Amino acid sequence: MLNLQEVRVLESLINTTFGRSSMRDAGHAIAFKTMNHCDDGMILEIRFETLVNINSHEGVQTAQKNYDNVSRKAIDEQIKQIKADFRAEAGRTLKAKEFKSERSGQQPLKESFLEIISFNPSLLRGKYYRTIQYHLV
């Protein structure tokens, strides 16, 4: 369980409004959210978002699979960077494991989604996003 000082360190590392974590030069956005889960403690949610152009001849599912790989790598890179920065700032290792709630009545989290915004016979435009939650210890 994170103490108050460690929560403050984590929040400063994932603050995307100022500093190093606000820079988005990779063509996609990564958003962070922390939540206090009533059963399991602190949860960190990382969301990858980007706008995409899809060749209609290749298909939407093929494009989604490609972006699934890209988003997974980007999110893994972010969690790795957060762990390294947390260790440097807080003086201890942050343990994070992927979180899937088994609680009854809770709506399951969609892992990835590609929403078509504009349809043209030769080009589809859409918004791709993927969300992964981590349980923090």
pLDDT at 39 over 60: yes
Of 32, 40, 42, 33, nearest to 6 by C-alpha is 42
Mean pLDDT in residue range 7-12:
91
What is residue 77's predicted lDDT score, i.e. its pLDDT? 93
Residue 100 has a pLDDT of 74
The per-residue pLDDT for range 49-103, each reduced to its tens digit, is 998 999 888 888 888 899 999 999 999 999 999 999 999 999 999 999 988 766 6
Residue 1's nearest CA partner among 136, 100, 97, 99 is 136
**Considering its fold, how many domains does the chain have in total?**
1
Average pLDDT for the chain? 84
Report whether pLDDT(10) > 60.
Answer: yes
More confident residue, 40 or 111: 111
* Crossing angle of helices 4-13 and 60-90, rounded to 10°: 130
If you average pLDDT over residues 118-125, what whole number do you get?
Answer: 88
**Structural domain span for residue 128:** 4-136
